[in-house]
Amino acid sequence: MASVFLGINDRTFTYESTAARAEHVGAGVRYPIDFAITQDDIAYILNRGREDRPDGTRLTVFKLGEDGEEYISTFGSHGEDPGQFIWPMCIALDKDTNVYVTDEWLNRITKYNKDGEYISHWGTHGFRDGEIDRPAGIAIGQDDTLYIVDSRNNRVQKFDLDGKFLGKFGSAGSADGQFNLPWGMCLGGEDNVFVADWRNDRVQSFTSDGKWLASFGTPGTGGDTTNARVKGGITYSDAPVGQFNRPTGVCVDQDGDIYVADWLNNRVQVLTPEGRFITEFTGDGHLSNMGIAKLRSNPDMIKQRNGIQNFTPERVLWAPCAVRIARNNRVIIADTTRHRFQIYRKNAEPVLV
């Protein structure tokens, strides 16, 4: 099934809020690369941190509710010991709110309980069945099947929740059903699998047993291949709709609409289940409640902020890595390089635009 990008406008979205603030430790986030959220708005946030500040590599737990954000706790840390990670990539929750984290450096999956207590880890580096090489996206099906994007092996593997190999699909290449360094993933209706095919600049969908269904998108950058590095965090993307530049994350809402974190185009695109373009989020951010609280305790920061002439950099997305759907049609975007979240709402009724 081929992709066709034709604009439609029968869905509308409203910007709701910005949440969190940049902190290497404690009540904040640092390069939030992925997150998972429960039905009661508890978000488990995977912080990638920086090579020179490994203390920023950790999991933080926030409530990202409709009345604002609330910091809850922190767990995990940088390292190779049980319960630690070096290059955490993606996160998923099971039915009991146990937490699963992929680590692309240690080639393992670590499991915690909902309170952040370490339970176990597993994973063997390699290319044979059940072995992994730079695991990235992770999702858990209704039948407790665990799907992992085995990035450098260019495939998706299936395991049980204890790491027993169940199956695989995909291979290296650019044809239908093939991958080139895939990254994020999610499950849609009937546990259909959606994969952000990172280096092929597209999203692909499959049945739960690996049958290819569709490919969405083509490469495109608006003529500027350095947009994230040079213009990222400064201006809005001008890339054509329906084109991607290293898509990292994907999710599907209850209507089947597809949300894609278009990383190097600094935006999130929304597509119909058939792949038609609906809209894009390029950023409407402002100070979060936590950001305001920090400024109010630092008069010198307020003086510096009062001297800003152009607030566009504050509003726009900068290399977003993940997008998730929360309850009440809330769309939460990990504005990764801005160390925050931008939150929108899909309107249940028509809104005049």
Average the pLDDT over 186-196 and give the result. 95
Tell whether pTM > 0.75.
yes
State pLDDT tens for residues 216-228: 999 998 766 566 6
Helix count (H) and strand count (E) of the chain?
3, 30
Please determine, looking at this structure, whether the domain spanning 13-346 carries the CATH number 2.120.10.30: yes
State pLDDT tens for residues 6-38: 445 678 999 999 999 999 999 999 999 999 999
Distance, in Å, from the CA atom of 58 to the CA atom of 49, rounded to the nearest integer, reads 8
- C-alpha distances (whole Å) from 3 to each of 134, 213, 218, 333 are 29, 11, 9, 24
Least Cα distance to 135 among 166, 161, 163, 109 occurs for 109
Alpha-carbon torsion (94, 96, 101, 102), positive or negative: negative
- pLDDT bracket for residue 238 (50, 70, 90): confident
Give the pLDDT score at 224: 61
Distance, in Å, from the CA atom of 210 to the CA atom of 185, rounded to the nearest integer, reads 13
Query: What's the distance, CA 287 to chain centroid?
Result: 21
Question: In this model, does residue 230 exceed pLDDT 50?
Answer: yes
State pLDDT tens for residues 118-143: 999 999 999 999 999 999 999 999 99
Distance, in Å, from the CA atom of 160 to the CA atom of 130, rounded to the nearest integer, reads 11
Give the pLDDT score at 311: 87
Question: In this model, does residue 2 exceed pLDDT 50?
Answer: no
The secondary structure of 155-185, three-state, reads EEEEECCCCCEEEEECEECCCCCEECCCCCE
19 burial level (CB within 10 Å; 0-12, 13-18, 19+): buried
Distance, in Å, from the CA atom of 200 to the CA atom of 269, rounded to the nearest integer, reads 17
Interaxial angle between packed helices 289-296 and 299-306, expressed in degrees from 0 to 180 and rounded to the nearest 10: 110
316 burial level (CB within 10 Å; 0-12, 13-18, 19+): buried
Please tell me the number of Cα atoms within 13 Å of 224 on its side-chain side: 17
SS3 assignment, position 108:
strand
State pLDDT tens for residues 140-162: 999 999 999 999 999 999 999 99
Q: Domain segments of the chain: what residues? A: 13-346
Mean pLDDT of the chain: 93
Question: In this model, does residue 3 exceed pLDDT 50?
Answer: no
- C-alpha distances (whole Å) from 340 to each of 291, 310, 332 are 10, 20, 10
User: Residue 45 forms beta bridges with which residues?
Assistant: 35, 60
Distance, in Å, from the CA atom of 342 to the CA atom of 215, rounded to the nearest integer, reads 27
> Both tokens of residue 14?
């409203």
Residue bearing tokens 């009345």: 67
Distance, in Å, from the CA atom of 239 to the CA atom of 241, rounded to the nearest integer, reads 6
End-to-end C-alpha distance for the chain, whole angstroms? 32
Give the pLDDT score at 310: 87
Do 61 and 47 meet the contact criterion of CB atoms below 8 Å apart? no
SS3 assignment, position 316:
coil
State pLDDT tens for residues 263-299: 999 999 999 999 999 999 999 999 999 999 999 999 9
Question: In this model, does residue 5 exceed pLDDT 50?
Answer: no
